Structure 1
Amino acid sequence: MSNVQSVVVWSKQGCHYCAEVKNYLEEKNIAYKTIDVTNHDDRRDILEAKYGVRHVPVVEIGIGHDFKGITKVGLEYLEEALFTAEPNK
């Protein structure tokens, strides 16, 4: 199993909060993948099934197959999750 932290940002075009999350990750040199839900209701269906929300941004942080979804809007929630998801923390 890999100890490399993975970050996935579920976002949509024109979302101010989504851009804020991506800018934060880029400033911290944290690599991430994006899943764009713009015009893809099926992707929002996945968010609803996994986390009970249809809004974005949702940030998934994980190591190996153990992922946590951050559904609350605000960089403080992202920072907390990034810190607690780091290996050996």
Structure 2
Amino acid sequence: MTKKIDIIVWSKQGCSYCEEVKTYLHAEGIAYKTVDVTHNDAFRDILESKYGVRYVPVIEIGSSENGVYKAVTEIGLEYLKAALADSVPSHI
């Protein structure tokens, strides 16, 4: 049975780091959903409550089936790549 992985990118308009993450995921053929926090401070409140940060990008990797997600809150593709290597079935 293949492990179902969901990826959620919390981002805002005009964020170059956010675009870098989305461009990388798209280039690798990895599907993701986006939560745009641009005009919604309540979304930033959720990030602060869950992970102690109010900035983006935050990338959640996990499963909607069991509701367990790991968050990548560090800026830089190397952190995303390491988290994907631990979480996503071989795709690259």
TM-score (norm 1): 0.92
SS in 2 for 1:31: coil
Percentage identity across aligned positions? 56
Letter in 2 for 1:66: V
CA–CA distance in structure 1, aligned partners of residues 31 and 25 of structure 2: 7
Deviates more, 1:59-68 or 1:33-42: 59-68
**Alignment size in residue pairs:** 87
CA–CA distance in structure 1, aligned partners of residues 81 and 6 of structure 2: 14
Unpaired segments ≥5 residues, structure 1? none
CA–CA distance in structure 2, aligned partners of residues 40 and 66 of structure 1: 24
**Cα RMSD between the aligned structures?**
1.5
Unpaired segments ≥5 residues, structure 2? none
CA–CA distance in structure 1, aligned partners of residues 76 and 6 of structure 2: 19
Letter in 2 for 1:45: D
Point out 4+ residue stretches in structure 1 off by more than 4 angstroms. Answer: none
SS in 2 for 1:13: coil
Matched, 1:30 2:69: no
Shift of 1:87: 4.6
TM-score (norm 2): 0.89
